[in-house]
Amino acid sequence: VQLVESGGGSVQTGGSLRLSCAASGFTRSRSSYCMGWFRQVPGKQREGVAAIAGGDGSTYYADSVKGRFTISQDNTKNTLYLQMNSLQPEDTAMYYCAARDNWYCRRVPHHKFEYWGQGTQVTVS
């Protein structure tokens, strides 16, 4: 599975960005995979932001982004999105798209995801 993120950039506090993740190379049905967004600041552990189950599309969010971020997917385009609104300086990080070779998505730590994109930087000032 190959994942390519785009859409990062610099934005002012309170602004919005939409990240995209183009996915390819699935060897099984898309419903067999959990996909998610993670973020990492230098010197800190990678943090789960949001995840979406391939089967029923159930979504899960970190408490810090609930009500501000929305994860979604377009299965016709094999693309994952993260709409980020009301951005705050503490949202500044490298954001990564990830896929897990298992449909289960709830509270899954980053080391359980097998596939990763290269990351896209989000800076809020």
Bridge partners of 69, per DSSP, are 84
Is 55:31 a contact under the CB 8 Å cutoff?
A: yes
Amino acid of residue 84: M
CA 84 vs CA 31, 64, 113: distances in Å = 24, 12, 22
pLDDT at 27: 86
Residue tagged 């709409």 (tokens):
83
pLDDT at 45: 94
Q: Which residues of the chain have pLDDT under 50?
A: none
Nearest alpha-carbon partner for 113 in 22, 29, 50? 50
